Amino acid sequence: MADLPGIVVTGASGRMGQMLARSIAASDRARLVACIEREGHPWIGRDIGECMGGAAMGVLVTDDPLEAFAKAQGVVDFTAPAATVGFAALAAQARLVHVIGTTGLEPADLEKLEAASRHAVIVRAGNMSLGVNLLVRMTQKIAAALDEDWDVEVVEAHHRMKVDAPSGTALMLGRAAAEGRGISLEDHMDSGRHGITGARKRGDIGFSAIRGGDVVGEHDVIFAADGERVVLRHLATDRGIFARGALRAVLWGQGQKPGQYDMMDVLGL
Ligand SMILES: NC(=O)C1=CN([C@@H]2O[C@H](COP(=O)(O)OP(=O)(O)OC[C@H]3O[C@@H](n4cnc5c(N)ncnc54)[C@H](OP(=O)(O)O)[C@@H]3O)[C@@H](O)[C@H]2O)C=CC1
Ligand SMILES: O=C(O)C1=N[C@H](C(=O)O)C[C@H](O)C1
């Protein structure tokens, strides 16, 4: 047991943090060694299992990442951009595998992650599920096969608490369509239509976001031509799919060379 990789979960009270803590604690391939929450959080100093309303797991919640990282080989981080950038610097210093599920990262954040990845392994993906990563590959292939007579639209739906749009997954799917077409997403992205927008620009990739209720995550990639449409769809109904992917990623990352990787590398897709 002691030689299994020790894993830290950040943002432990969050929707994903709790799912990750449960999944890692239940795994026979890794050990949950610490959980992190921010300073002043009511869970600090308490057992994570009890905080989540269950039996004690023998793992405490701390607000001290340095102390937590000192006893770990990996950190699984589904929090917020500013927190993730801070954890990346500390994880790199400690040479931990840093699995990042956090979305909404800006270019300046990505530069900091790039710097951290010179010293340690980072695995980052806007969606860690097997199904979505398969859909990304399918999107790329279909986009490569179809010309610009087929308008590409990415439609996503999430729970009412989600703070970023388009979702990380929608951006992965849009980028895959752009790659399939051999164009840059940044130059062809049409997001947040409102008012007199004018007709759709040929070759653009459109994004729409729905927010409501407790939707875990739904993504459609629509290829719309005159007289026909092809729709690729992924429906997430359980956050366990993301936790499974993250656990797989943190195990895969052990022993890899420093650098940035994604779920395609982990899954071999
Ligand atoms: N890649 C993937 O497969 C998936 C990615 N995600 C992404 O993961 C992220 C989290 O999602 P979700 O769990 O729903 O969000 P939640 O808001 O439920 O959880 C985020 C957690 O991070 C904590 N946090 C924020 N800043 C810090 C900090 N500085 N130190 C410690 N903890 C901190 C929050 O604490 P507090 O409440 O105090 O702010 C909260 O507990 C989002 O970016 C989401 O898009 C989600 C699902 C799958
Ligand atoms: O915030 C969420 O909940 C999710 N975020 C990720 C995203 O931005 O795509 C992945 C998943 O869809 C759930």
Which residues fall within 8 angstroms of residue 16, CB to CB, at 6 or more apart? 78, 101, 239, 242, 243
Give the pLDDT mean for 231-258: 98
Kindly report the pTM of this predicted structure.
0.98
Ligand 2 site residues, Cβ closer than 6 angstroms = 103, 126-127, 158, 162, 167-169, 217
- State the Cα–Cα distance between residues 59 and 53, nearest whole angstrom: 14
Give the pLDDT mean for 183-208: 97
Residue 261 Cα to ligand 1 midpoint, Å, equals: 21
Which two structure tokens, joined as six digits, stand for 155? 């439609």
Which two structure tokens, joined as six digits, stand for 43? 């869970």
Nearest to 100 by CA among 223, 178, 16, 19: 16
The amino acid present at 47, given as its one-letter code, is D
Residue 167 Cα to ligand 2 midpoint, Å, equals: 6
Which of the four pLDDT bands, split at 50, 70 and 90, describes residue 241? very high
- State the Cα–Cα distance between residues 34 and 65, nearest whole angstrom: 9
Give the pLDDT mean for 156-175: 98
Give the pLDDT mean for 37-60: 98
pLDDT at 2 over 90: no
Mean pLDDT score across all residues of the chain: 98
**Complex confidence, ipTM:** 0.99
Which of the four pLDDT bands, split at 50, 70 and 90, describes residue 10? very high
In tens, the pLDDT along 58-88 reads: 999 999 999 999 999 999 999 999 999 999 9
